[in-house]
Structure 1
Amino acid sequence: MLTTKIVVVGAGSASFGLNTLGALMRSARLRGSHLALVDQNTQTLGVIERLALRLNQEWDAQMRITTHAHHQDALPGADFVVSAIEVPPREQLWRQDFQIPLKFGLRQPYAENGGPGGWAHAARNLGPVLQIAHDMETACPDAWFINFTNPMMRICDAVARYSTIKVVGLCHQIQAGYGMVGYCLAEELDIRVPPGEIATHADPRFWPNLKKVAKQAMEKIDIKAAGLNHFTWMLDVRDKASGADLYPLFRERWDLMDPSFEPLTRKVFADFGVFPIPGDEHLCEYLPWMSDAAARPWEKFDLSLYDWEAAEVRRGEGHAEIERMGRGIAPVAPLLEADSEGALEVIENLSRAGNHYHLAVNIPNEGYILNLPQKAIVEVPAVFSGLGARGMGVGALPVAVAELCRREIVVVQLGVDAVVQGDRQKALQSLLFSPGITDLHQAEQILDAYLTEYRPYLPTFWE
């Protein structure tokens, strides 16, 4: 029997770990493979191990299950390393990433992936991620690194430019685009819109309805989007049944919708002529017009912050549910529908020479987007097969959109270089190019505060 060794780093995650485990273990094509679960938190690792053993037995997955407190013990012979690690405590640090710049007059719209908060978030995670990549160079040099850790583009850029490991980043945010287009064209496409509010906002109460609309839309339409992670743009949308170009109809119907629906997306679509895919509260991180204290755009566009306290509560509830499943108290049938956000499909088709088309993949640009820099991490549709990951060539982005993306690429690469090299000047330059920064001294104050607050996580700057 052909076996595949899959290492899951961060396996104890209440969301990522659970869904990845369920998806991999239900796969008939991966039956009998070696699943190595890694988590530094031995308590959550033990909980996910009990569940894995239950699934292995009840689903007859015939997998070899091993657990490891350190990734080095799991890597030898690996074919795939799936990672969604986060330096803890996640929500507390994210809150600080937002609050520190406030002291110097900068209110970021979200502070997770773009702007100064995106730099701080990446800076903490780059060291642990690159350690995994460098250990892979010795233990499993031909393995694929499948990344889910945010900021996606910065993490993938570091692995691609500072290691020899093949990297692909997976993100489900394109589903927000399908949800918005499906909602707009619900009548034409015969999509059932559930009662209640529809939005791409960070509040989880919106997610179930958006997902229901997106799922129906994905069966009826095809969207080609490209750009950067959380900053992609709809280049084409077609009816799967007829092949008809739906972009003209979409523009017409979008203009007739309630203007309070995704107002930032609406404004950017109107001004740039291309529909942005990720939804308001991811899109806002990459735009330089979202932090003005006088204009208060976060109020104008109804941009809400992430609820850090609620997220901590949900994580605890998730771990409790995993424990109930592992002990046989809760049913595991829902995991038959678990979505690994593409990890399963990537592993199955790379390891078994399939042909899987994926809607959105983060990989180094090899001519896929003609007017963005070569080797920069871009998000494009791609095919996974025995040849590896091959992006779809989408041509050139509209000039203005490409310029926004190029600026973010400079921010990302300077920021990554700064952390790897311990170069304060490059870190400062990265912040100076960041959306929201309008003052030279403000950027320096924010950087110094970040470097001081996060000193234990940023050893290269203090060596």
Structure 2
Amino acid sequence: MANQAKIVFLGATSASFGLSMLRDVFSSEELRGCTLTLVGRDAERLGKMAELARQLNGRSGAGLIVEQTTDRRAAFGGADFVVNATAIDRNRLWKMDFEVPRKYGIRHTLGENGGPGGLFFTLRTLPMIFDFVRDMEELCPNALLLNFANPESRIVLALGRYSRIRCIGLCHGIYGVREHAAKIMGLPTEEVDVWAAGLNHFQCLMQLRHRATGDDLYPRLRAAEIDYDPDFSPFTRRLLRAFGYWLGCGDGHLGEYLAYGWEGGEEGYDFSADERYRAEFAATLESVLSGAVAIPANWLTPSGERGVAAIAGVLHNRKRVLESGVVYNRSAIPNLPAELAVEVPVMIDAAGVHPISLGPLPDPVAKLMSMQASVQQMAVEAAVHASKELALQALLIDPVVNSTTAAVRLLDELWEANRPYIRECIP
């Protein structure tokens, strides 16, 4: 592989993650000589992102070869890494995932990775993911898939069960955990070290230490949060007091997995802010490409995501430790099912992705997460078999669902809305 690796970026036209990936690629000195192939379905938008990539490449001196194509299979030939940041009609369908269950009395927080929304996100996304993966198995079987798309846990679980392609899911949630804990303790974030394990968006902070001294900071966190602003992460702090550990990466994400998660807020995702950001990004991009304005300074700096760090760890055999990665369990967390996607620290080198086990979760925390493990397993089976019967069963074992009548009604409505995307995706 040396320094001639080929990196294929699916979803390069993404307004949210596309820029982040380009910022990281062209801020790195470690990918010099690599080929970056941008893939997108909209040729016009793809052309604009490719032109931005070339400008960033020239401005930074990163030394990559930039390609673009709307033909995924053409891109996969000879690929060493495939980065996935795709979604199907993201905001329109996500709004339905959130609003339809509420109409039938389901109280939930985001409608993305847990509850009914998590199920339908899984049902429509996995067939697309398996299209990618079957092409990879044929055209670049040794490539590493780096997945940034949700629902992370269910995608990695499905691939662990039904594909031989190596993959890792990457998420920045762990940084939110560290930032929240540091804020409560009154410490700079960079002075705080965290070690966590669990499910994506539902990790347990196993170790909280001072980076310089190694001192255990949990006593300081537990003491400081008692009198801290009561409006800051109140749901997460309630569980901290009950279980003794900081869980998840924010009340909204954590609440997706629990029957009482709505107590942390039921406002859902801010779609209006998301649409404003997309419009602003599109306008700024047009101005940059026309030469009317300079490239914004933050576009020339790393985003904080870990995709490029992972690629470089493999490419240069760095034995690089990443704070977290979503991987197929196989006992990385011994008291969660082996057939499950878990989020744990990982070490990455030329031999691949190596989960770092922090040992068993605290028993009560493991029991809390085990309920969601069964939901995720059932949702994956419903998706890969395109089974409405299994989908209903997945809803009825989900702690967020509080009514059989509501489950049947929302299933009928959302199944119809997602019918164009639901299909069997295993031989």
What interval of TM-score do these two structures reach, taking the shorter chain for normalisation?
over 0.9
Give the counterpart of 1:355 among 319, 338, 343: 319
* CA–CA separation in structure 2 for the residues paired with 1:54 and 1:151: 32
The 1:167–1:438 alpha-carbon spacing in structure 2 relative to 1, beyond 3 Å, is same
Q: Which moved more, 1:137-146 or 1:447-456?
A: 447-456
Matched, 1:242 2:205: no
Instruction: Name the residue aligned to 2:62.
Output: 61
* CA–CA separation in structure 1 for the residues paired with 2:271 and 2:160: 31
Tell me the secondary structure at the aligned position of residue 286 of structure 1.
coil
Deviations 1:95-143 (Å, cap 9, x if unpaired)?
A: 1111212332223221111000111112111111110011000000000
Instruction: Name the residue aligned to 1:319.
Output: 282
Query: Does the 8 Å CA contact 1:92/1:308 hold for their aligned counterparts?
Result: no
* CA–CA separation in structure 2 for the residues paired with 1:460 and 1:245: 49
Give the counterpart of 1:402 among 357, 362, 366: 366
* CA–CA separation in structure 1 for the residues paired with 2:266 and 2:412: 28
* CA–CA separation in structure 1 for the residues paired with 2:351 and 2:220: 38
Matched, 1:429 2:371: no
Correspondence 1:140-151 to 2 at 5 A: 140-151=140-151
| Number of residue-to-residue matches in the alignment | 423
Q: Structure 1: 5+ residue runs without aligned partners?
A: 192-216, 292-296
Instruction: Name the residue aligned to 2:116.
Output: 116
Q: Which moved more, 1:59-68 or 1:320-329?
A: 320-329
Correspondence 1:8-407 to 2 at 5 A: 8-88=9-89, 90-186=90-186, 189=187, 191=188, 217=189, 219-290=190-261, 297=263, 301-332=264-295, 333-339=297-303, 341-407=305-371
Query: Does the 8 Å CA contact 2:3/2:315 hold for their aligned counterparts?
Result: no
* CA–CA separation in structure 1 for the residues paired with 2:370 and 2:418: 28
Query: Does the 8 Å CA contact 2:56/2:300 hold for their aligned counterparts?
Result: no
Amino acid at match of 2:60: W
CA-CA distance at 1:149 after TM superposition: 0.5
Q: Which moved more, 1:31-40 or 1:321-330?
A: 321-330
CA-CA distance at 1:426 after TM superposition: 1.5
* CA–CA separation in structure 1 for the residues paired with 2:70 and 2:141: 21
Amino acid at match of 1:74: A
The 1:290–1:27 alpha-carbon spacing in structure 2 relative to 1, beyond 3 Å, is closer
Instruction: Name the residue aligned to 1:195.
Output: none
* CA–CA separation in structure 1 for the residues paired with 2:156 and 2:200: 11
Amino acid at match of 1:288: A
Query: Does the 8 Å CA contact 2:383/2:424 hold for their aligned counterparts?
Result: yes
Deviations 1:255-284 (Å, cap 9, x if unpaired)?
A: 121222211011111112211141111111
Give the counterpart of 1:414 among 368, 378, 384: 378
Query: Does the 8 Å CA contact 1:75/1:139 hold for their aligned counterparts?
Result: yes
* CA–CA separation in structure 1 for the residues paired with 2:357 and 2:197: 10
Amino acid at match of 2:30: R
Instruction: Name the residue aligned to 1:441.
Output: 405
TM-score when scaled to structure 1?
Answer: 0.88
Q: Which moved more, 1:320-329 or 1:73-82?
A: 320-329
Amino acid at match of 2:121: H
Instruction: Name the residue aligned to 2:8.
Output: 7
Tell me the secondary structure at the aligned position of residue 360 of structure 1.
strand
Deviations 1:381-416 (Å, cap 9, x if unpaired)?
A: 111112311111111112221122112121111111
* CA–CA separation in structure 2 for the residues paired with 1:286 and 1:247: 24
Tell me the secondary structure at the aligned position of residue 405 of structure 1.
helix
CA-CA distance at 1:303 after TM superposition: 4.4
Query: Does the 8 Å CA contact 2:385/2:423 hold for their aligned counterparts?
Result: no
CA-CA distance at 1:48 after TM superposition: 0.5
CA-CA distance at 1:302 after TM superposition: 4.1
Query: Does the 8 Å CA contact 1:428/1:444 hold for their aligned counterparts?
Result: yes
Q: Which moved more, 1:438-447 or 1:173-182?
A: 438-447
* CA–CA separation in structure 2 for the residues paired with 1:268 and 1:304: 20
TM-score when scaled to structure 2?
Answer: 0.95
Tell me the secondary structure at the aligned position of residue 53 of structure 2.
helix
The 1:241–1:62 alpha-carbon spacing in structure 2 relative to 1, beyond 3 Å, is closer
* CA–CA separation in structure 2 for the residues paired with 1:221 and 1:58: 34
- CA RMSD of superposed structures (Å): 1.7
CA-CA distance at 1:59 after TM superposition: 2.6
Amino acid at match of 2:279: G
* CA–CA separation in structure 2 for the residues paired with 1:420 and 1:67: 31
The 1:430–1:41 alpha-carbon spacing in structure 2 relative to 1, beyond 3 Å, is same
CA-CA distance at 1:358 after TM superposition: 0.9
Q: Structure 2: 5+ residue runs without aligned partners?
A: none
Query: Does the 8 Å CA contact 1:176/1:277 hold for their aligned counterparts?
Result: no
CA-CA distance at 1:340 after TM superposition: 5.7
Q: Which moved more, 1:129-138 or 1:54-63?
A: 54-63
Instruction: Name the residue aligned to 1:200.
Output: none
* CA–CA separation in structure 2 for the residues paired with 1:59 and 1:179: 29
Sequence identity (%): 36
* CA–CA separation in structure 1 for the residues paired with 2:38 and 2:114: 31
